[in-house]
Amino acid sequence: MLALISFISAFAIARVFTTFYPDTVLTFTGGLHVHHFWYGLAMLAIGGWLGINYENERINRLAAVLFGAGGGIVGDEVGLLLTLGDYWTEITYTVVVIFITSASILMLISRYASVIRTEFAQFLSGQAPLYVGTFLAAVSAAFLTQTENIIVITISSVALIIALTIILAYLINQIRKRR
């Protein structure tokens, strides 16, 4: 949790600072510009090293803060790194949102694994085909309505037909059981 909070905070601070002070850069003679992702890499390395080498709760917390902050600073410049020059590209926000979402989900899953297993077991007991068919139908219909690409339309149409077949088979099976 400390690493995730540090990641989000460092990313936000780096973005705000760069927005308000875009000309503040460390430049060496000859025009060599040191991007702040280098500081982030150093923080990632130091935080990772501390976390691996010490079994101390206080040092592990420090390592998590350093590692998260370093990741946030590197994440701030991921668009620059991927596009080789466009700091303000929207891909940066996409990558950071995907990372934050994934990290949050993984933390929740690890924390509540037994509750999630129990819930899914109850949720899927006997009704899995209905849920899978409904999910597949919804996703397929969403893709069908959002594209003009013939390949996507074909794949989505086939998936929708399969989904409706699964749902229909489930409903027929339920009706037979009640008789």
Percentage, residues of the chain above pLDDT 90: 47
Residue 62 pLDDT exceeds 90 = yes
Whole-number Å distance between alpha carbons of 64 and 34? 25
Q: Which helix (H) or strand (E) holds 66?
A: helix 57-76
- Give Cα 113 distance to the centre of its chain: 19
What is the separation, in whole angstroms, between the first and last Cα of the chain?
Answer: 53
- Amino acid identity of residue 39, one-letter, is Y
CA distance 143 to 109: 28
Given a contact cutoff of 8 angstroms between Cβ atoms, the answer to whether 94 and 101 are in contact is no
- Residue 37 is predicted with a pLDDT of 85
CA gap 81, 83 in Å, rounded: 6
Cα–Cα distance measured from residue 13 to residue 9, given in angstroms and rounded to the nearest whole number: 6
pTM above 0.85, yes or no: no
pLDDT in tens, 150-173: 998 999 999 999 999 999 999 998
Single-letter amino acid, residue 114: S
**pLDDT tens-place string over residues 75-106:** 988 888 888 878 788 888 888 899 899 999 89
Predicted pLDDT at 84: 81
